[in-house]
Structure 1
Amino acid sequence: MTAPLALFNHGPIRQIRLARPPVNALDTALCRALIGAIEQAHSDGVQGIVLSGGEGIFSAGMDVPELMAHGDDRARLLQSWQAFFGAVRAIGHSRIPVVVAIGGHCPAGGCVLSLAADYRIMAASSDAARPFRIGLNEVAVGLVAPEGIQRLLRRLVGVHRAGQLLIGGEMVAAERAHALGMVDELVPLEQVDARALAWMEQLLRLPRSPMLATRAIARADLHEALAPEHIELERFVQAWYEADAQAALTGLLARLGKG
Structure 2
Amino acid sequence: MSCVEVVNHGDGIVELKFARAPVNALDPALCRELRAALDAAVIAEARGIVLSGGPKVFSAGLDVPHLLGLGDDREALTAAWQSFFAAARAVATCPVPVVAAIAGHAPAGGCVLALCCDYRVMASGDYRIGLNETQVGLVAPEGIQRLMRRAVGAGRSERLLVMGDLVEAERALQIGLVDELIDIEQVAARAREWLQQLLALPREAMLQTRRIARADLVEALQPEHIQLERFIEAWSAPGTQGALRALVARLGK
Q: TM-score, normalised by structure 1?
A: 0.96
What 5-or-longer segments of structure 1 have no aligned partner?
126-130
Residue equivalent to 1:31: 31
SS in 1 for 2:219: helix
Name the CA distance, whole Å, in 1 between partners of 2:250 and 2:190.
35
Q: Structure 1 residue 256: deviation in Å?
A: 2.8
Aligned to 1:218: 213
1:135-188: CA deviation from partner (whole Å, max 9, x where unpaired): 100111221110000000001100010010000000101000000000001111
CA distances 1:195-250 after superposition (whole Å, capped 9, x unpaired): 00001111111000000000011101101111110001111111111122111111
Aligned: 1:188 with 2:188: no
Q: Corresponding residue for 2:174?
A: 179
Note the C-alpha offset of 1:253.
2.0
Q: Normalization by structure 2: what TM-score?
A: 0.98
Which residue does the alignment assign to 1:71?
71
The amino acid that maps onto 1:12 is G
Measure how far apart 1:257 and its partner are. 3.0
Q: Following the alignment from structure 1 to structure 2, what is the Cα–Cα distance between the partners of residues 27 and 223? A: 22
**Corresponding residue SS for 1:31:** helix
Three-state SS of the structure 1 residue aligned to 2:111 is helix
Matched position secondary structure for 1:17: strand
The match for 2:2 is 3
Aligned amino acid, residue 47 of structure 2? Q
Where does residue 138 of structure 2 map in the other structure?
143
- What residue number does 1:164 align with? 159
Opposite residue 137 of structure 1, the aligned amino acid is: N
1:46 matched to which residue of 2?
Answer: 46
Structure 1 segments (4+ residues) deviating >2 Å: none
What's 2:195 paired with?
200
1:33 and 1:12 map into 2 onto residues whose CA distance is 21
Alpha-carbon distance between aligned partners in 1 of 2:237 and 2:42, rounded to the nearest angstrom: 40
Residue 252 of structure 1 deviates from its aligned partner by 1.2
Q: 2:250 aligns with which of 245, 250, 255?
A: 255
Question: Does the residue aligned with 1:224 lie in a helix, a strand or coil?
Answer: helix
1:35-67 CA distances to partner (integer Å, 9 max, x unpaired)? 111111111111100000012110111100000
Distance, in Å, in 2 between the alignment partners of 1:181 and 1:253 is 30
Q: For 1:13 and 1:157, locate their aligned partners in 2 and report how far apart those are by CA, in whole Å.
A: 28
Distance 2:39 2:229 in 1: 26
| Structure 2: gaps spanning 5 or more residues | none
- d(CA) in 2 for partners of 1:7, 1:135: 26
Partner Cα distance (2:15, 2:247) in 1: 32
Q: 2:129 aligns with which of 134, 146, 158?
A: 134
1:85-129 CA distances to partner (integer Å, 9 max, x unpaired)?
01100000000000000001110000000000000000002xxxx
Q: Tell me the amino acid that sits aligned with residue 227 of structure 2.
A: E
The secondary structure found in structure 2 opposite 1:183 is coil
Q: In structure 1, what residue type is equivalent to 2:113?
A: L
Q: Distance in 1 between matches of 2:105 and 2:17?
A: 15
d(CA) in 1 for partners of 2:252 and 2:183?
A: 32
Q: Which amino acid aligns with 1:205?
A: A
Q: State the SS of the aligned residue for 2:140.
A: coil
1:192 and 1:19 map into 2 onto residues whose CA distance is 16
**Aligned residue for 2:230?**
235
Aligned to 1:124: 124
Q: Tell me, in whole angstroms, the C-alpha distance in 1 between the residues paired with 2:207 and 2:89.
A: 18
CA-atom RMSD, angstroms? 0.9
